[in-house]
Amino acid sequence: MVVALLSVAVAVQRQVKEQAWRAWPDCPTHPRGLHAEEVENRAVWFCRAAGGHVVAPIGGLEPAS
């Protein structure tokens, strides 16, 4: 299941990048795009800034305001 979620997330990110010419999703704390990664056997959105941190599980990001 984790591998499937990561594959879909990466595919969606590529599509957004090709269509909108921007990174998506963005870290709410740092002005950087997030990465779909596996952390502790969970598919998460991960920010690599400031030593790295998990932002949310894939599928669990808050809508942009």
Percent of the residues in the chain that have a pLDDT greater than 90, as a whole number: 91
Instruction: Give the pLDDT band of residue 63 (cuts 50, 70, 90).
Output: confident
Q: Using CA atoms, how far apart are residues 39 and 52, in angstroms rounded to an integer?
A: 11
pLDDT at 65 over 90: no
Percent of the residues in the chain that have a pLDDT greater than 70, as a whole number: 98
pLDDT at 64 over 80: no
Phi then psi for residue 39, to 5 deg, are -130, 120
The two structure tokens encoding residue 40:
């502790």
Average confidence (pLDDT) over 8-37: 95
Average confidence (pLDDT) over 54-62: 95
